[in-house]
Amino acid sequence: MGPNKEERIKTIALELGFSVVGIAGVSPHARANDVYDRWLRADMHAGMTWLSRHRQKRRDATSLLAGARSAVCVGLNYYHEKEKEQRDSDGSNGRGLFSIYAHGRDYHDVMGEMLGQLNAKLKASFPGMRSRACVDTGAISDRTMAIRAGIAWLGKNSSAISPQFGSWIFLGELLTDLELRPDRPLDTMCGKCTKCIDACPTGALDEPFVVDARKCISYLTIEERGEIPSPMQERIGLNVYGCDTCQSVCPFNNVVTNALAFDRGDRSPLVDMTVAELEKISDEEFEKKTAGSAIRRCKAGGMRRNAAIVRRNIEAKNRHHPR
């Protein structure tokens, strides 16, 4: 007896370079939808108004693909040990910190290309199949689908945590009208651990499994378009773009290995610039140096603002703790 549909699909996905793959049903998930609605009502999505506008689409995958029955959910390990050198920086080299996910090519492009390849191969194997690839920008929740597919569980920092690769994974899914047997979801393995909550510099994780974007450094340095509230500026520390603090302290991130599929050859030049240089970067230079990079999301003005904050934090640190 040959492999069943589910096994064939998973084999194809892994051969393409995805790190993990699982299958989820797409029927509305009442509990996840209720939690999300409460989060929105509490205004924890801050200025990300599109999350509220797309709420109804998020509740039902068939709004993205009519007749959708299953989701092939994939994860791609993006961690590289060499990037940890940056996380160990104390700012003495004049550089700030960029979230590891943004060091290389824009993950939307990387995952989009790989999901396109997966889509083509599955259509060749299952003629007549209808499908739609989703990576972050769609209304569907990649994290919720990954958890339903059994490739990750929900961490107390609200990240999806893979048993094999921790939370250093990009997520995406291929919605399909194929009737597939779903995998069993994983229960959280966080137990009594609160390391991520304790380490958060701004208290954005005070409620376990929920992130308050209004206090989150990733939100403030990437999505916030205005001035960052003064009380938060010192707490940003060295973070120029995003924040990996809650991930860096997670015990499950000790199991990760270097990524095989995610190409680090296109390392962003901004990562190696000093905050003094970033503070003065022109709109034109920013656009040129962020081509094909997720860092473009914060815009040139946001980068100059963030760099100025980090520069002041480094100067304050040097005043209080001269070398």
Phi (first) and psi of residue 173, to 5 degrees: -155, 155
Helix (H) or strand (E) holding 316: helix 299-320
136 is catalytic: yes
Strand pairing class (70-77; 169-176)? antiparallel
Question: 97-98 and 239-241 as β-strands: parallel, antiparallel, unpaired?
Answer: parallel
Asked whether 176 and 61 are in contact (CB, 8 A), the reply is: no
Smallest Cα–Cα separation from 154: which of 32, 318, 313?
A: 32
**Active-site residue, from 37, 60, 109, 136:** 136
With 0-12 / 13-18 / 19 or more C-beta atoms within 10 angstroms meaning exposed / middle / buried, residue 90 is: exposed
Q: How far is C-alpha 227 from the chain's CA centre?
A: 24
Q: Is 94 left (phi over 0), alpha (psi -120 to 50) or beta?
A: left
Closest CA to 144 of 259, 57, 11, 29: 29
> What residues act catalytically?
136
